[in-house]
Every structure is written in structure tokens, then in C-alpha cells.
Structure 1
């Protein structure tokens, strides 16, 4: 069993500051990684809007937080390399050998199922709020902010989505970077993540809020802000893991 350290409210600021230093140490691979995520996100978002699927563009964008931890696996590897005084390579960030195992697949499958469940829940909330299909983003936005039914949809969606998002955060905030350690399995990693949130609830709630605000800012830029924000958060998340999780108490000690 891994030890779990207690952290203070200043921890998220330290992680973000350290992540800036990490990005300056390896700017090119980190920004290319972020640009790839940004361009794919923008392409999907744009295609949905042009297909008059504004609702799905909005709901799937809100659900980005559910799958982002797995997409950031290459950035955790970069943080691990920098910790060892090694220079991260883009090829190793794109093909993380230590992540190519069944435990990572099981965690990824869990997050995918949560993501798909969120899409279904969002569809139910939307369907219970209106009988119309708002095809454009402007129509959907006008409905959401100017009508009582739209306000109800926003409130219900925020509550349900917030609960789902925080539950997802609780099981992945530590488990995804932890699985780069070949000695960890998915159950130990998820349990350690839950213990970390339980022991550091308020600081990690602040960290979750910071992530949410930054991702919302990226959404406001049609996801192009992910070029910088995504690698920044990925490297900071690696630092969060290293700060919170200590040694494996079950590991044999040298005599």
C-alpha cells in the first residue's frame, strides 16, 4: 500500500509553477503534443457544429474532462523523464511503453464508459427541458440563457455533470500517472487516488476547480488554448502525483 501525504492549499500553485519550469525545459515536444490535442478537439467540435449538432458539440465538450487524463499519459511520461534529468522525446510521449499494458486499458475503458454515460445523461436532461432541437450554437445558447426551461437545463446539467466529473476526478487524479509505475495495478491505483482525495479533500477540490476553469477557458477559444494549457496541466498533474503519493509500504526493504 502506498503512503498518502497531506498537502496544503498552496500545493496547486506550486504544481502549476513547477509545470511552467518543466515546459521551459522541453518546450517543443510539449507544445507539439498540446497542438495535436487542440487540433483534434477543434476538428471534432467544428464538424459537429457544421453538421447542425450543437447539442452534441456542447455536451461532448463538457465531457472532455472525463477522458483528458488518459490523453495526457504522454505528458506524465515527460514529467517522469524530466524528474530523472532526461530530455523528453516526442516519440516517447506519443508511444508510452509503460502505458501499454492491461491495467491502463482497464482504466481507459472505465473512463470511456463514464464519458458515454455522460453523453446519455446530457441527452436526457436536454430532452426533458425542451421539445425542440437547437441545431446551431447560437440557438442553443439563446435557449439556455434566456428561457426558464433553459435555466433548468443548465442547473440540472451542472449538478449531475459536476457530481460525475468529481467522481471521475477522484478515481483518476492519482491513478493515471501512478500507472506509469509498472509495479502498480489499476485497483491499487484507483484506491490510492480515492484515499488521496479523502485525505486532501479541500486542496484537491481546489485543484479540480482550477482544472475546470482552465479547460473552460480553452473551450472559449474553440479549444485552441489547449496548445499551452493541456501540457501545462499534464505536467502539473505529474507533480501532483509525486507530491501526494509516497513510498510503497508493502515493498521489501533492503537489509
Structure 2
């Protein structure tokens, strides 16, 4: 593990003081998930309680969309959830921080610590929410451009859309557009939120440092992003029930990624 002096896109922000970042190996990144699982085992109660709460909210939104006849929005919202998921894991970053420092992690104290950083956390959260809204809008616009109609009911989506002649081009364009947006969001949020909880740092400096960390460790972070996406999708495919486990696991693992990447 070494410090990086490589140039970064954030060099365009000369007035933003930010921490240095480390160069890590793929082997080191493989330990983040194991350490996250260890934290989950140390705090199973808070993990499942908070994770289950988010799972119930997501499931309620799913039922609500079906009830009002907007089930066609479920798929783009699932993609949007992946973009804002780092914000929903803030409580888990704080629990991992307390475990690392040997501090107790009762819910009230943990939540209070998160609320104390509400300003910069909210600033990053607004960026993530904006990205989600942009993604949903782009998904609807792309669908209209390729199919010229409103999205069909979810039950007819795969047959009515994916079997159409233009489906391959639609999926290719959607993948490129969604991938570009997801890459930007990942770079901004990879370590910025746990960093805000751990340090006295602005949202802009935290996001700039996160970009530095991703830019310095591109190969490692591509693999890490793929791991996060895979685990999140597994949680979504269970009807959001699996989020009760996957969200805390990824939150804890992200804390350890931050600790490894930022000096």
C-alpha cells in the first residue's frame, strides 16, 4: 500500500484541501467484504433492524406503484436505488467506525452522530438524488424514443419490449447511458460519505477525495463497483427482502474501503 502522487480530475479544484489517497492492491480490496461481514456479525441486531427498515420501505414503494398502476416504473427505480444506496447506508458507516474505535453503538448515539453531520451528508445526498432523477428521466425518454409509447405494465415488459426488433439497440444505449451515470456517481460516493462521518471535511472536499481514490485505483475500483452492483442486485431480486442483509454488509464494507483508500 503506497501513497499516490498521480494527477486527478479534481486538480481542477485547487482551492479544495483534501486528504491524500493510497494505492491499494486487488488482494487488499478483497478483504473489505470480509471485514464488513465481520462487523455485521458483531452487530447483527442493529444491522438487521436498520436493514429491515429500508427493506420494508422499498417493498412498500413496490406495492404502492403496483396499486396506482405505475408498475412500469419499478425497473428504472431499481436502477435509481443503486445510485442512492450509499446514502441509505450512513448508519452502518457510523457503526463500523464505532466498532473500529472500540466504542459502543447504541442506536440513539449512532443516529445522533449521523445527524451531527447532516449538512455535508445532505449535500452529497442531494447529488445522489439528482442523479437518480436524471436516470429515471433518461430511462423514460429513451423508451419513448425507441418505442414511442408509454412503458407497458411490468408483466408485459419482457415480452412486449425485449422481443421487439429495436430491443438490442435500446438495451445497448440504455446500458451505455446508465453505465456512464453510475460511474460518475460511484466516483463521487465511493468513500465520501464515510469520510464525512469520520472527519471534519466539506461535502465538496469529500467527493473530490473520493474521485481521487477511484482515479488512483481504477482497476481495483472497477472490481469493487461490480461487487457492489452484484450484491445490491441480489438484494433487489428477492423482492427487496434481501436488502435487510446486503445493505448493512455493503455499508460496513464501504467503511473499510474508505479506511484503506484514504490517509
TM-score, scaled relative to structure 2: 0.88
Give the aligned partner of residue 41 of structure 2.
24
Equivalent-residue separation in structure 2 for 1:144 and 1:204 (angstroms): 33
Q: Match for 1:208 among 196, 209, 225?
A: 225
Give the CA deviation at 1:182. 4.2
SS at match of 1:222: coil
Unaligned runs of 5+ in 1: 247-255
Aligned length, in residue pairs: 246
Q: Match for 1:14 among 26, 31, 35?
A: 31
Equivalence map 1:75-224=2 (5 Å):
75-97=92-114, 99-224=116-241
Deviations 1:216-246 (A, max 9, x none): 1122111111011000000000000001101
SS at match of 1:184: coil
Give the CA deviation at 1:98. 5.4
Equivalent-residue separation in structure 2 for 1:198 and 1:106 (angstroms): 22
Give the aligned partner of residue 241 of structure 1.
258
Give the aligned partner of residue 72 of structure 2.
55
Give the CA deviation at 1:92. 3.6
Equivalent-residue separation in structure 2 for 1:203 and 1:26 (angstroms): 28
Q: Match for 2:242 among 221, 225, 238?
A: 225
Equivalent-residue separation in structure 1 for 2:71 and 2:233 (angstroms): 17
Equivalent-residue separation in structure 1 for 2:110 and 2:162 (angstroms): 41
Give the CA deviation at 1:156. 1.4
SS at match of 1:123: helix
Give the CA deviation at 1:50. 3.0
Greater Cα shift, 165-174 or 104-113: 104-113
Give the aligned partner of residue 4 of structure 1.
21
Deviations 1:204-225 (A, max 9, x none): 0100001111111122111111
SS at match of 2:24: coil
Greater Cα shift, 150-159 or 71-80: 150-159
Give the aligned partner of residue 62 of structure 2.
45
SS at match of 2:235: helix
Contact 1:73–1:96 (Cα < 8 Å) also in 2: no
Give the CA deviation at 1:99. 4.7
Unaligned runs of 5+ in 2: 1-17
Deviations 1:78-106 (A, max 9, x none): 01010011232233444444553422221
